[in-house]
Each structure stands twice: as structure tokens, then as C-alpha cells.
Structure 1
Amino acid sequence: MGALVGLGVGVGLLLVWSAFALPRPPHAPRGRLGGLQRRLARAGLAHVPPTGLLLTCGLLALVCAVLVQAVSGTATVSLAFGVLAAYLPLAVIDARGRRRQREFAEVWPEAVDNLASAVRAGLSLPEAVVGLAARGPAPLRPAFEEFGLDYQVSGRFSESLDRLKERLADPVGDRVIEGLRIAREVGGGELGHLLRNLSGYLRDEAHTRGELESRQSWAINGARLAVAAPWLVLLFMSLQSEVIHRYASFGGAVVLAVGGAACVVAYRLMMRIGRLPVEQRILS
């Protein structure tokens, strides 16, 4: 009985130690920094640490605030533009991520067609996937080049696919890769038919989404113009010291705070009303 109690205590202590000492998987980031890491990966900047992005935001905010302070001499106005400048790197990262996903969505059907042709020509599925590094669409080639090196070193197709998903950080790519994994595990003679069906589905989806996004662009551009216009006016007003100094008072600070909050709420509301459903990475 004492031996069993000792064994249980030992196992419990081992589990407690492993929870703190063993490394956590890198593909499951948590918390706010995890959210920034996912945004960076979506933009193709997974090698950039979230702390570096935060430092960039802070440095840009400081530089902008100092410049506006030197021009306007009004602390409240310089603080407002410092906050706007701090958000600029995040906006650039998000825009880059959206552009990258649109680019991937357009070329995935071509990549799947290439896989189907390679399989029909007698290549194995791993060889066909590695071949995309040379014959695939240009935006996807770097990721598949790294996949080829990874698979050549490890020889484990499933684990190499997992790392490929991390590098791509793309919801459409997740579906394609999981389809390849299932096809590899199940096998059979229907692989070519499955790939052709997947290519047709992806091409129809990309075409439909492209049409919707082109019709939606006017709402997005209108929202951005409506939000940017008052701050551009305020920036030009900073050149007139007798006018801009009115914002140095408590009432001026309240006006800036209320105006900033109104811009944020209006922009988020208009973007939410006019946005298309964002595809989530449910298989990551």
C-alpha cells in the first residue's frame, strides 16, 4: 500500500514538473502575444517576434508624437497622433495578411491541378507535393521548397505537412493539406478524382469571393476615408498655432477623446456591416 502511495506521489510530482519545465508546442500560441503571433504568421512574417512588433508600434508612436509636438506645441494633439501611429504597424500587418490570403486563394486551384497531373503521370503523392517547389505557382514555391527539405531530412510525410501548415498559415491551405493527408493514409485509386473535384471547388469559391469583395470595396474605402478625413484636417490645423492651442485645454482634450472614440466605433460598425465572413483556420 505504501509503495502505491509513493508511486502516485511520484507520478503527480512528475506531471507538475513537466507542466512547467517541458517546452510547449510552438504552433499553439496563447494570450495576447499569441494573437499577435497568429497575425504575423498570416502575413507571412512568422519569423518576426510579437515583442518586436510591439516595440515597433511604441517607437513609431513616440517619433510621431515628438514630431507633432514640435510642430503644434500641443500635448493633447501629439498624444492623439501618437496613438494613431501606434496602430499603423498593426494595420499594415493585417492588410498584408488579407492580401496574402487573397493571393493564395487564387493560386491554390492551379497547385491542386498540378498535383493531380503529377499523380496521373505516376508520381507518388509526396513526390508530387515536393514537385510544387519547382512547378507550382510562384507565391507557394518558397513554402514547398522548405517542405521538400523537411521531408528529405525527416522522411515523415505527416509531420512535414504539419510544418507546412504552420508556414502557410492559410485556411484554404489547411483544407488542401488535410485532404492530402487523408488521401495519403487511405490510399486507393480515387486520388486523381478527389484532387480534380477539390480544384474545381476551390476555383468556384475564389471566383465567387472575388466578385463579392470587388462589390464590397466601395464600403471599405468609404469607411477609411470618413475616418481619416477629420484627422487630416486636424493635422493641417497643427500648422496654425493660434487655432491648435485651443485643444490644449480640458475641453479640447475631451473633444479629441470623444472624436477618437466616435471614429473607432463608426469604423468598426461600418466594417462589421459590410464585411464578408472570414474563413477561420479550424484545422490548424
Structure 2
Amino acid sequence: MTLVWGVTLAAGILLVLSPWLWPAGRSRPETAAADRSQGAIARLLQGAGYAHAPAARVIVVSIGAGLLAAALAWLITALPAVVIVAAAVGVAGPTVWLRSRARRLRKSRRALWPDVCDLLIASVRSGMSLPDAVGTLATSAPAPLRPAFVGFAGDMAASGHFDASALRLKAQLGDPVADRIVETLRMARQVGGTELTSVLRALSASVRADTNLRAEVESRQSWIRGAAVLGVVAPWVVLILLATRPEGVAAYTSPQGVLVILGGAAVSIVAYRLMLRVGRLSEPRRWFG
């Protein structure tokens, strides 16, 4: 009987302390890390123009690319160390490609946002409501941006809810400047926007100035990226050529050879990242993404 009362008392104390020991909003560390990883992949897909693609697809493609790169490296060189490096490069390849595509999209769209601001200003000043002004961009906006605004017009026609449609438009565009424009329109819709045209005009002038400055700096620093790519690729081409000879295979399958390959891979990654960091301008962050 004493044991039963002891267990009952312990269970009662545990139930009393449970809100502090296991709060409802706390998730396990591995679950929280997985959620952050999924969120980072989703933001990367949005920036690359694949907002509707599932994040799991990137993981599957990365694993498949790693296996394919490892198989090709084994067929060409038959060096285990090179296979490991090739597998790592293959796994990272889709993510690197998505980041590169996101940068290219931001660069190509950067010069188009001032025109979008000007079109919005003209529509608002002509007396259009904000939903109609944004909806007309489906036909009047620059061609690369029209599909996103066509989707916004379809959302508005289906739901009639401007705020939800604007959020979906922002996710589909996945651009820092687009975030600022959409958030300005949402605020004007919710609290009134007597200064909307002046805000859009100031934003247009700011984006134009930033675009001109970036174009001038990037044209002068484009050689840095070319030098970084050449400096990283050249040693590995030489390694592949050496691995086609039996004495080269024997040398690089030894412990010292494996250490040289893995150390060379680490140095290549660090040097490439440093060269890109020197020649890259800081990109604006998606504060409202």
C-alpha cells in the first residue's frame, strides 16, 4: 500500500511540474533543426523561382547527384579519395546551382522593379484601387514578372482577399525589392495610403541608383570570379590526368596520397569561398520574406 501511495504522489508531482518541464510550444532539438532546414530550403526555392516545389525534392536530387558524381569519379579515376570528394561536390551541386540561379534572377529583375513602381504609380494616380492596380501588371509589367502577377489576378478573382493574395505573390516573386513593394501596398491597403505614390517613387529612385552602382562595380570585378573558377578547376584536371596512369593511381591510393587529395579539396573550397567573398557585393536580405 505504501508503494501505491508513493507512486501516486510521484505521478501527481510530475503532473503539476509538467507545464514547466515539457511546455507545449517547445519542440525537440532535432525537430527544430529539421524545421529550420526545411525553411531554409523553401526560401532558397522561392528565390530561385521554384516557390511551389517541395523542399524534399532538393534533398532527393542532392543525394542522386552525389551518387552519380561518385560513380563517375570511380569509373574515371578508381581513387577512393576522389570518389569521396566527388560525392560531396555532387551533394552540394543542386544547392549551389539554386543559389546561383537566385542571384541571376535577382540581378535580372533588379532593373525591372523601377518600371513596376512607375506602372503602379500611374495606375493609382488614375484612380484605380490597389487590387486593380496590381492586377493590371499581369499585362503591363515586364515579361519576366508577368506570370507572378497573373497568379495574383487569379487569386483575387477566386478569393477576393487582397492580403492573402499579396502574400502568395510575395512568396512567388521571392525578391527583396518585391517584398518592400508588396509590404508597402499591404500597409496602404490596411491603414490608408495618401503618401503611397511618393513612397513608390522614392523606392523606384533608390532601386535605380543601386542597380547602376552594382552594374558598374560588378563589371570591374567580374575577373575575380573567373580567376577563382580557374584556380579551383585546374589542379583537379591535372589530378584526373595523373590518375589515368598506373603509377599515379598507386601514388594516390597510398595514405599520403589520400591525405593530399582531401587536403587539396579543403584548401580549394576555402580559397574559392575567399575569392568569391572578395569579389561579391552584399545582397539585400528578405526582411519581410
TM range (shorter): 0.7 to 0.9
The 5-angstrom pairing of residues 221-236 of structure 1 reads 221-236=226-241
User: Hey, what's the Cα distance between the residues in 1 that align with 2:211 and 2:187?
Assistant: 23
The percentage of counterpart residues that share the same residue type is 39
| Equivalent residues of 2:229, 2:272 under 8 A apart | yes
Rg comparison, structure with higher value: 2
After superposition, the C-alpha distances for 1:123-181 in whole angstroms (9 at most, x for unaligned) are: 21210100101110111111111111112222221221111111111111111111112
Q: Residues 190 and 282 from structure 1, CA distance in 2 versus in 1: closer, same or farther, beyond 3 angstroms?
A: closer
CA RMSD of aligned residues (A): 2.4
SS at match of 1:277: coil
Aligned partner of 2:199 in structure 1 is: 194
* TM-score of the aligned structures, taking structure 1 as reference length: 0.85
Confirm or deny: 8 A CA contact 1:74 1:248 kept in the other structure.
yes
CA contact (8 A) 2:117 2:204 kept: yes
Contact kept, 8 Å, 1:39 with 1:94, in 2: the verdict is yes
> Are 1:245 and 2:246 an aligned pair?
no
CA contact under 8 A between 2:225 and 2:276: conserved in structure 1? yes
- For residues 124-163 of structure 1, the aligned pairs below 5 Å read 124-163=129-168
The one-character-per-residue Cα deviations of 1:99-135 (angstroms, maximum 9, x if unpaired) are 0111221111111111111122222121010010111
Residues 58-69 of structure 1 mapped to structure 2, 5 A cutoff: 58-69=63-74
Q: What is the aligned partner in structure 1 of residue 8 from structure 2?
A: none
Unaligned runs of 5+ in 1: 1-8, 21-28
Alignment partner of 2:212 out of 207, 213, 220:
207
Match of 1:48 among 46, 50, 53: 53
Number of aligned residue pairs: give it: 265
> Quick check: 1:174 aligned with 2:179?
yes
Q: Which residues of structure 2 form unaligned runs of 5+?
A: 1-15, 28-33
> In 2, Cα distance between the equivalents of 1:177 and 1:30?
26
Runs of 4+ aligned structure 1 residues displaced above 6 Å come to 16-20
Matches of 1:180 and 1:251, distance apart in 2: 62
Give the structure-2-normalised TM-score. Answer: 0.83
Q: Check conservation: 2:222, 2:279, Cα contact below 8 A.
A: no
For 1:244 and 1:50, how far apart are their aligned partners in 2? 39
Where does residue 24 of structure 1 map in the other structure?
A: none
Matched-pair contact (CA < 8 Å) for 2:81–2:262: no
